[in-house]
Amino acid sequence: MPHFKDFKGDPLRQYVGMLEDLMKEERLSICSHGEDLDGLTSASLVIAVRPEGLEVHFSAPYEIKNLWDSYDLVLDLPPPRGGARVLIDHHASNISLLDRVRTPILRPEYPSTARVLYEILRGWEPGVGRYSELIDLTDATDSGKMDLESSLFTSAIRKLFKERKRKLLEVCGDLLRSPPISSKDLIELPSLRSEVSFLTREYGDLIERVLSLSGGEALLLNVRNYPSYLVPLMQLASQGYKLLGTLTRGSDGLLRLSLRSRPDSPITALQIAEALGGGGHEHAAGALVSPSTMPEIVEKIRRFLSLSVVDL
């Protein structure tokens, strides 16, 4: 199992009373990351302690960043322009947006946002302890330890996020009803079964091709002709490369560049993403780029690593 430092002496304690008061308000609006396990586990924890009077929204970083909406609690996302009363997050790149938040709780040293939230909630509702193994699994998944099952899960979630957002609430219900403890459990959640079998049926060959890539210094995978929800599956190639870029179609004619780097890469995923106006974690980051800047980006990466470009 993953290794974590002991969080017991953590000053998160100071937020226990504040969060308890927030959870007891008559109405509460939350917005969480709708594209991965961390966002869904975080939303589920709030649903667990506060099932009534709760309004749950799901968003993505590139989406919420420019919205004028505001929420009481934003989880695992950048705060929107409209502001948030409380932000709980672990993305270092969101530090620059904290002036939009009344009480920011941003902990880049934590492996997941769900872990930060869990530690605070546990301070007044020890019952959340029954989800401790789900939190361990979320930590592992969010720190990039992805296997075929957790990648399938994340792609299925992203497909729902794109096509049937409200169904994500059913996934949260499943996470709470029988908390998964392994990545295999994730793809067996009843609310995801049909998406997972769709993915393996439609894209089994593509997944095989990704898994059989030979490895090397850096790879740019062009998957512009496939739906962007397949990116987590494409990123299964990342173990074999110091740097992996995945290119899919974004909104407004832009391309979405998702980056993964290994600790032995001379340039990190975040450095590249931030240079392009994006953000994320040190070794898992992304940016929206215009197609005309691609040659420049390829050039820039080639100053550090020998890069192959593959069209799938």
Where along the sequence are the contacts to Mn ion (CB under 5 A)?
Answer: 38, 76, 113, 142
Smallest separation, CB 311 to Mn ion (Å): 30
Between CA 93 and CA 105, with CA 99 as vertex, the angle to 5 degrees is: 65
Smallest separation, CB 151 to Mn ion (Å): 16
User: For Mn ion, which is the closer residue by CB, 157 or 297?
Assistant: 157
Q: Which residues contact 301 (CB under 8 A, 6 or more apart)?
A: 218, 220, 243, 245, 267, 272, 307
User: For Mn ion, which is the closer residue by CB, 119 or 305?
Assistant: 119
Closest residue to Mn ion, based on beta-carbon distance: 38
CA gap 294, 110 in Å, rounded: 33
Smallest separation, CB 298 to Mn ion (Å): 28
User: For Mn ion, which is the closer residue by CB, 61 or 179?
Assistant: 61
Q: Do the Cβ atoms of 44 and 128 come closer than 8 Å?
A: no
Q: Do the Cβ atoms of 93 and 67 come closer than 8 Å?
A: no
Q: Considering only CA atoms, which of 227, 265, 266, 271 is closest in space to residue 246?
A: 227
Q: Considering only CA atoms, which of 99, 91, 5 is closest in space to residue 284?
A: 91
User: For Mn ion, which is the closer residue by CB, 281 or 301?
Assistant: 281
Q: Which residues contact 40 (CB under 8 A, 6 or more apart)?
A: 32, 33, 34, 157, 168, 171, 172, 175
Q: Coil, helix or strand for 118?
A: helix
Tell me the β-bridge partners of 31: 57, 74
Smallest separation, CB 91 to Mn ion (Å): 7
Smallest separation, CB 101 to Mn ion (Å): 17
User: For Mn ion, which is the closer residue by CB, 179 or 220?
Assistant: 179
Question: Locate tokens 């409209």: which residue?
Answer: 82
User: For Mn ion, which is the closer residue by CB, 142 or 195?
Assistant: 142
DSSP state of 97: G
Smallest separation, CB 162 to Mn ion (Å): 19
User: For Mn ion, which is the closer residue by CB, 138 or 228?
Assistant: 138
Smallest separation, CB 37 to Mn ion (Å): 8
